[in-house]
Amino acid sequence: MVKKRVAGKIQLWIGIILLIISVAGGVLTYIPYNNLKETYSPSVELITISMQLNIIIGFAVIFITSFILSLLFITQGLINISEEN
């Protein structure tokens, strides 16, 4: 039982760290998108816009993936901590 509790605590901490990373990823996704929206003009080269959109999409994927993983780690950690004999 001690090993399950320790594993649960480790999983809980990993989940919390991933949750913090996902929130930071969400902020990093929103800032370039907001700047791109404000500075858009038809004269801007299409390559520049597509590169910026690729970066934004990459951050969005990291944000969503780490958020889902954090929820999985947190729930599994709580299950392992709360299990008894």
Contact 63, 26 (CB under 8 A): yes
Is residue 24 helix, strand or coil? Answer: helix
Contact 8, 77 (CB under 8 A): yes
User: Which residue would you say has higher pLDDT here, 33 or 72?
Assistant: 72
26-66 pLDDT per residue, tens: 777 777 666 666 666 666 676 677 777 777 787 778 888 88
pTM attached to this predicted model: 0.67
Question: Which of 11, 9, 58, 10 has the alpha carbon at shortest distance from 32?
Answer: 58
pLDDT above 80 (res 81): yes
